[in-house]
Each structure stands twice: as C-alpha cells, then as structure tokens.
Structure 1
C-alpha cells in the first residue's frame, strides 16, 4: 500500500511539473512591410515555441525557408538575397517574461506581460523587448505578440534598386496555440 501511495504522489508531482511548460510546434509568424509602391508580407506556420511558466523562460525558433510569399520571386529574393537562409537557416528568440504572473491553466483568463531577450537573425543578435498576451479559454491556451524588427540590427542589406520598396522596419505578428508539455515516462 505504501508503494502505491508513493507511486501516485510521484506521478502527480511529475504531472504538475509538466504543466509548467507549454509547447507549440506550429506557431504562425507573419511579417508585413507597408510601402507606397508595394506591400510585402509572408507567413510561416512552422514556428516552434516553448514557455516555462515556472521560470518565465521563452524560446522561439522558425525556419526562414518556411515563409510563404504571395509570389515566388519575392520568396526567392527573401531567401537568397536578404536573410540568406541557406547560410542562416533559422530565426531564434530566447528570453524571459518579466515579473512572471501566476497563470492558472484551468480557468479562463487573459494575461499580459513584458518579454525581454535576444533575437538572432541573419547571423546577428540584438536585444529585444515586447509585450505578449496569453489567453486561456475553454482549455485552449493561445499566445500572441506584435513587434517591429529593424533590418539594420541584423545586417540585412537592401539593394539600391529596391530600397524604396522595402521598409527599414518590418512588423512581426506571432500567434501560437500551446499544449501542456507531457512528461516522457
């Protein structure tokens, strides 16, 4: 009987520990550049995101070749000329929630918090801060964040021929539906 009680307590401890980590394997990352001559936008639905609710640590990664553009030529230029995705295949964010709130994943609620960290793109790393939201609604945990990236922070060169067509700052929107990470037993 004593062994059964210990086993149950151990399983409950493992389960509660696992509920502190959230995982999304198909986060949506959209970027948008508004210019008078031509808007540029793309979407990637293959982002990987992990949030540790206990520590507040957040990590996010996206394969740059996964961005889909309205036309193939834009996609080719993005991968070959701007982000050089063969040489620098991923964009990566590593940071933490500032002042980690107590998040109850069993109750419907909205949480907003500041996130600080570093973004790595095109072989360069830059400090970044943004606001993120986490919503728990009917058992579904979703995250959302909007921020701008300056191309010069990541040494992304714009050819003179198209300099007037591409903004110096690109607006990014990230949306993720998280699952509670289950322990490997």
Structure 2
C-alpha cells in the first residue's frame, strides 16, 4: 500500500467503517496505518510484542470508534495518530504500574558499574538539554523536529500528518536543524 494515499480517501474509508462497518475499507486503513504505527511503537517499547500490541489495540479502537471521526474537525491521519497516542500512553501507564508492583527488584543492588550509571545520567542530561533547545524553536519547527525524530515519521508522512506541502516540511526541518546546531554547538550531531 502506498504512502501517497490522499486525505479524502482515508477520510472516506474511516467514514465507511464508522457508518457501515465496511471491512474492505478497514482493511485499506489497516494496510496504510499498521506499518507506520508499528515503526513508531518500536521506538517507544523495548520488545516487538508490545509494539504489535500497540498496532492491534490502535486498529481495534479505530474499528470501534470510527463513527466518532469528523472530517470537519481534522484529518484522518491526525485522528488515527491520536488514537495511537492514547493507546501508547495507556500501555506505558500499565507498564509503569506493573513495575511499581515489582518493587522488590528495585531494592537489590545492581550489577552495573558506576561508569554505566554515569553514562546513562549524562545521556539523560544531554537529552534534557536537547529537549530544552527544541522547546525554544518556533512551534511550526518544533512539530516537524518532534515528528521526524521522536515519532520517527518520514518527511512525506509529516506532510500528510500536518497537511502541509513536502517542501514546507523540508524547509522547516532544515531551518530547525540549523538553529539547533548553533544552540548546541558543533559537537552534537
């Protein structure tokens, strides 16, 4: 299935699923969104099973809630990615809750050397510094940087997601990266 499907077609499929439980339309939606959701979920969860669960749960919710989609309120891609984001947050909360139940693991000494812990701490500080600099970018550039690097969307997907021309996405990303390079210095990639 091509990434070049236009918004009206995606909206039509969502409306067909919502109005008449059209299984063929749902199949098209699944073929279009599942690989994208899978790729984003892989970046958020440590194992393939959890990434697959995000895909399944998201698409199940799309099937169940498609009647709530309103073309006048936004693009089909925005609606589906919002469903995915909610599923992701729910799963992360559930995982965090399970970790709190297994607190006994946290009280035992770890086998990691202090240097590994220091590296993780330094990485965390660098990530925090990077996020602080990104937050200083204009909103339009923040959206593109976060979508491209954190949500791992392609420039083409961002153009569809933000309903903007591809050239605009490329320009915003190039401007944002130039500003980030100046802010962070040459030693950051």
TM-score tier by shorter-chain length is under 0.3
The structure where helix makes up a greater share of residues is: 2
The structure where strand makes up a greater share of residues is: 1
Give TM-score, length-normalised by structure 1: 0.25
Give TM-score, length-normalised by structure 2: 0.25
Q: Which has the higher contact order (CA 8 A, sep 6+)?
A: 1
